[in-house]
Amino acid sequence: MTVAMIARAWRTPLGDTIDAAMARLFAGERAATRDPRDGYACTSVSSIPPHSHSGVLPRPAKPGSSIRQEPRRSRDARFLRRLVLFGLEAAIEALSASGLTGGPRVGLFSGVGGLRAHWDDMIAAFANQRDDGERMWERGLKDVHPYWMLRHLSNNVHALASAELDLRGEGATFGGGNGGAQAFAAAARALRDHAIDAAVVVAYDSLLEPETLVELGARGAATTAALDQLVAPYAAEARGFVPGEAAAAVVLVRDAAAPIARIAVAETAGDGALARCAAALADGAQLVDGAARAWPLHDREERALLGALVAGAQLTAISAAIGQVGAATALVQAIALAEMLRAETAAPIAGLARADAGPLSPITCATPTTARIALGLHTAAPGLASAVRVEVSR
């Protein structure tokens, strides 16, 4: 089932407004920066930059400290982590832009990167502990954040956004690398079944947390290249993706006279998940945002699949510019692809000068397009995949 997207908002490494981020995407810019933290195999990351309009600028990062920037000041910052706050900002902004108000027929569906006990919250508590178990409080437990448990709840955005925006309709929270796509699909089903009349869908994730960077390094998924040696997805020399972070929100209704775009989502798990998702939504697609895993074997397999499904389509890769963003991917793709179709311009694959041989020609510079239908692909943990179909009217 397709649904109408009538409003959207995001926080991405390319910027916190639609126009600013899309301008950089069309220009082929890459948001990757050097991570000053030591000890991780991956040193090139894409983080959300400071707000350009918040009136509150973060303190400059000290050498060796985290490069992550902070969201706007909020009373909720006492017990919420930064990506949760970015998600709240996006949800509030999207609903405001839609012109709708909350109520019993407006639902909220959220996707989060998973329920993880973040290491950086616990390092101070355990770094100086000893085997004798004595004086544990003085040796670090006193440094545990008083709201530690609250900060890690996966439904924080759901609870706070529902209360602040009066969203009392059907809703759910989904965790994991496919969380955003699952939230999107659940919202579409609720609209189809007339359980609600409108849905706010929000998803957020960061692949820059210490425990995630260690996992990506162990799997060899993320790049180990320095900034000046980064190679884009779909190049023969590609050696892993740049991890990133993002928060995004959209407002969906069953139908609208002039929506931003019409959206359909497929998500599944198991062997061949990406092929099944792509096949379900590929019909008529002329522009494809690839999963862009940035390893030649995976990229070639993906292009072979797409060559059989959508021969002649243009291939872009939003993640080459902003990094892989986990659970936020489906929403980021839906927003960015809709903007490309509306602007009749396909964004280039940032940093790609010469593509590896294969079907579907990757875009290396901003290219005019008459496409009305686009397909976005994403793979999360092994065996998880999603696809987003975006269609606009001319």
Q: Domains in the chain, please, with CATH?
A: 3-116+152-391 (3.40.47.10)
Average pLDDT value for residue range 365-382: 94
* Closest-CA residue to 316 (of 300, 340, 335): 340
Among 37-41, 158-162, 239-243, the least confident range: 37-41
pLDDT of residue 52 exceeding 80, the answer is: no
Helix (H, G, I), strand (E, B) or coil at 331: helix
Question: Residue 172: how many CA atoms within 13 Å on its side-chain side?
Answer: 16
pLDDT of residue 181 exceeding 60, the answer is: yes
Alpha-carbon distance of 52 to 72, in angstroms, equals 11
Query: Do residues 91 and 165 lie in contact, with contact meaning Cβ atoms separated by under 8 Å?
Result: yes
Average pLDDT value for residue range 70-86: 77
| Residue ranges with strand state E in the chain | 3-11, 33-34, 44-45, 106-112, 172-175, 198-206, 245-253, 261-269, 287-289, 314-316, 345-346, 367-368, 373-379, 384-391
pLDDT in tens, 322-369: 999 999 999 999 999 999 999 999 999 999 999 999 999 999 999 999
Among 1-10, 46-55, 357-366, the least confident range: 46-55
The pLDDT value given to residue 233: 96
The pLDDT value given to residue 63: 32
Alpha-carbon distance of 6 to 58, in angstroms, equals 32
Q: Predicted confidence band at 304 (pLDDT cuts at 50, 70, 90)?
A: very high
pLDDT of residue 60 exceeding 50, the answer is: no
Query: Do residues 362 and 316 lie in contact, with contact meaning Cβ atoms separated by under 8 Å?
Result: yes
pLDDT of residue 57 exceeding 90, the answer is: no
The CA–CA distances, whole Å, from 358 to 218, 235, 306 equal: 29, 10, 10
Alpha-carbon distance of 139 to 372, in angstroms, equals 61
Q: How is residue 236 written in tokens?
A: 């023969």
pLDDT of residue 77 exceeding 90, the answer is: no
Q: Average model confidence (pLDDT) for the chain?
A: 89
Beta-bridge partners for 247: 11, 204
* Closest-CA residue to 180 (of 333, 374, 49, 317): 333
Pairing of strands 172-175, 106-112: parallel
Average pLDDT value for residue range 142-162: 82
Q: Predicted confidence band at 112 (pLDDT cuts at 50, 70, 90)?
A: very high
Question: What is the number of other CB atoms lying within 10 angstroms of the CB of residue 365?
Answer: 12
Instruction: For residue 240, count CB atoms less than 10 angstroms from its CB and return exposed for 0-12, middle for 13-18, buried for 19 or more.
Output: buried
The pLDDT value given to residue 165: 95
For the chain, the residue count is 394
**Cβ-Cβ contacts under 8 Å for 381 (sequence gap 6 or more):** 176, 177
pLDDT of residue 66 exceeding 50, the answer is: no
pLDDT in tens, 224-235: 998 889 999 999
Among 116-120, 251-255, 267-271, the least confident range: 116-120
* Closest-CA residue to 141 (of 153, 127, 154): 127
pLDDT of residue 271 exceeding 60, the answer is: yes
The pLDDT value given to residue 50: 67
* Closest-CA residue to 322 (of 232, 388, 250): 232
Label residues 144-174 b or e (16+ Cβ within 10 Å = b). ebeeeeebbbbebbbebbbeebebbbbbbbb
pLDDT of residue 56 exceeding 60, the answer is: no
Q: Predicted confidence band at 255 (pLDDT cuts at 50, 70, 90)?
A: very high
Q: Predicted confidence band at 393 (pLDDT cuts at 50, 70, 90)?
A: very high
